[in-house]
Amino acid sequence: MATEESIEGQPKEVVRLKRELGLFSAINLMIAVMIGSGVFVSPSSTLEHTGSVGMCLIVWTACGIISMFGALAFAELGTIIPRSGAEYSYYMDSFGPLHKFWGRLPSFIYSWVLIFITKPAEVAIIILTFSEYLCQPIFDVMCIHNSEDSERVKKAVALLALGLITYINMSSVKLYVKIQNIFGGCKIIACLVVIFGGLYELIIEGNTFNLTKGFQGTKYSSKDIALAFYSGLWAYDGWSAVTFVTEEIKKPEINIPRSISISVPIITALYVFMNVAYMSVLSIPEIMSAKAVAVTFGERVLGPMAFLIPLGVALSTFGCALSIQFGVTRVCYVAGQDGLMMKSLSFVHHKKLTPSVAVVLQGAITLLCIIAGEIVQLIEFVSFLVWLFYALAMVSLLVLRKTKKDVHRPYKVPSWIAVFFLLAVSCLTTIPIIMDSSPKYLFGLGYVLTGVFVYYWFIYKKNIPKSIIRKATRFAQILFEVVPPDCFNRKL
């Protein structure tokens, strides 16, 4: 709990989010969000589109470099705009003052997409993956093969996991940090198990046949290369995670650039060497056909210790879901402060200092996603918008270079990096639509247009009765014991 000086000159405790994340925790947050289940379960898409071992490794490395460029640009944004919310806050500061109506619209659309579809659906998918890898070994031991019964158990376990991560994020940031640090370490260990297993096969056993194929079979068409990069960059997504929680980072002007500079290269190295490990043991057809590449690898290499892989996937996915929910609730927090979402979303528990209403909202939407099913299709409808938001963030950076050119910048990325990344993610925004003219993209655009209407009618025109707003706010305060941030503690 922070302190402020009162009118009488006496210090008073105020209720607000605290800076609980140091450099180590910020690095672990990045690792927790970036390393989900993808690199363990299905890294085959990049290999499918490249067609060869050599080109696949080049693409994985290049995707790490491109992700680093984007992360460095966000590092500058995070140091000159000391607010949580990542892109939301950057749009608000750069575009907000330019026009009364259009200026705040990008921030609203960003929060509209993330809060109500993208992040809850992503957490739901990750939690269901956690349940799958936690339950399957138990089912095998207990000889449970009834698919209907096993699916019900998996969904029940997923719901329990959702309840647990929601409880953790409601309880305290300190508790979140401790658990996240543990799971971050477990993720690194799981990655290293795969890497050292591959090195053993490569160096000790001399299993180099697959790797010696080099660039044999490489696909050089622009479509395949573009889709290979699209798949690879999705695996690296999450490099902006630390900027979602800027207000809870200790010394953000130092620790945001440092955490990015340390974590993204670490993850790039892990991803590249894990793919080397896979391809040193499994052939290209085996990787392509494997339901879970890391599990197949473990069965081939680890023998009786093969259980470490599904356990590692379970731990990795749980930690990832926990951190994604933690980050998106901070978008709720800042959007509530600015009046673009319900005001109560910015309220903080008077003792726990967590945005309890925002956490519960995210838990509830994720619950609906798990129960409804067909989550993958839901997230595919709007996934291309994520790249549009990244591109718009680079525009924000360039705008702020003009409108806030005199602001002190503890860290400044070269302009060519921001422009290069802007061009790269602009291509990734259009590739899915050009390569796959599916009606599902119309759903994503339709959802955005719905957001424009909601913004115009309810936010810009304020066509919500004030009595309803007051009653809803009062109800949230009583139910969740929350207060507006910066309220004096003695007044509670």
Per-residue pLDDT tens digits for 68-97: 999 999 999 999 998 999 999 999 999 999
Mean pLDDT, residues 333-341: 95
Is there a domain that residue 312 lies in?
yes
Looking at residue 36, what is its pLDDT?
83
Query: Given a cut of 60, is residue 10 above it in pLDDT?
Result: no
* Structural domain harbouring 473: 22-58+110-236+264-380+428-491
Domain total of the chain: 1
Mean pLDDT, residues 121-140: 85
Mean pLDDT lowest for which of 157-171, 273-287, 368-382? 368-382
Looking at residue 345, what is its pLDDT?
95
Is there a domain that residue 15 lies in?
no
Query: Given a cut of 80, is residue 334 above it in pLDDT?
Result: yes
Is there a domain that residue 245 lies in?
no
Is there a domain that residue 390 lies in?
no
Looking at residue 460, what is its pLDDT?
94
Is there a domain that residue 87 lies in?
no
Looking at residue 489, what is its pLDDT?
46
Looking at residue 410, what is its pLDDT?
87
Mean pLDDT, residues 403-413: 89
Looking at residue 488, what is its pLDDT?
46
Is there a domain that residue 329 lies in?
yes
Q: How confident is the model at residue 100 (pLDDT cuts 50, 70, 90)?
A: very high
Looking at residue 158, what is its pLDDT?
93
Looking at residue 6, what is its pLDDT?
46
pLDDT in tens, 133-142: 888 777 776 7
Is there a domain that residue 198 lies in?
yes
Q: How confident is the model at residue 437 (pLDDT cuts 50, 70, 90)?
A: low
Mean pLDDT, residues 218-246: 88
The CATH number of the domain where 443 resides is what? 1.20.1740
Mean pLDDT, residues 46-50: 88
First to last CA, the chain: 14
pTM higher than 0.85, yes or no? yes
Is there a domain that residue 388 lies in?
no
